[in-house]
Amino acid sequence: MTIIPAIDIIGGKCVRLTQGDYAQQKVYSDNPVEIAKQFEDAGITRLHIVDLDGAKAGTIINLSVLESIASNTNLVIDFGGGIKKIQDVESVFNAGASIATIGSLAVKHPELLEEWLMEYGADKFLIGADVLDEKIKISGWLEDGGIDIFHFIGMMIGLGVTNIFCTDISKDGAMQGPSIELYKKIMAEHPEIKLIASGGVTTMEDVIKLKEMGCTGAIIGKAIYEGNIDVKELATLNLKP
């Protein structure tokens, strides 16, 4: 299981939202590079960066943050938020990301995603499924995607994608535990995917439970920043790659 700390960016700062609400944001650091270095020093090898400004605006805003983190660490980075055209994908890879995270575009324009998959290969993409009541939400969780999670994953499998992370928006930032039952349903219906859990991971017990049920990774944000989970403890559990 891969442990993937999250750095969410608004205005160049490391923040967390509660249940995707931009009005409920808390700034944890003015220096995301230092946060990323702390993760690496603790033994973490992966990082999930979300350009929340970009997700809301529909265009990449905080590419310089990615460049700074990539040039100052050896972390394997996936980056998302505002990726809408192939030039954006190229920019993200050129800035140091190993993987491009795609959410809204995969729902609205799967034909574009298919072109990118043919150009770069499926392993260069991580598909984000943001869910509320089993329905996909897009555009920084602000719009209804018009499809449920199970049909969406079926679409992605049809394109050859198996690397998918699912965020239950109702759990995200709430510090009440991950959406275990939803993940069980997803893996029962689509056992071929490599499912990464995201949202609500609060304790080490949550992490172990997700590992035992077959999730291949866990994206963790607020629980680390609030001190509920120690990244050094995560690293010593051999849950990283």
Give the C-alpha distances (Å, rounded to integers) separating 29 from 7, 20, 32, 37, 100.
Answer: 10, 19, 6, 13, 24
The answer to whether 164 touches 195, Cβ cutoff 8 Å, is: yes
Among 53, 78, 88, 130, the one annotated catalytic:
130
Tokens of 30: 């003015």
Among 8, 51, 78, 172, the one annotated catalytic:
8
Q: Is 130 a catalytic residue?
A: yes
CA 100 to chain centre: 10
Q: Is 144 a catalytic residue?
A: no
Rounded Cα distance between 195 and 191, Å, is 9
Tokens of 213: 């049920």
Place of tokens 């809301």: 56
Active site residues: 8, 130
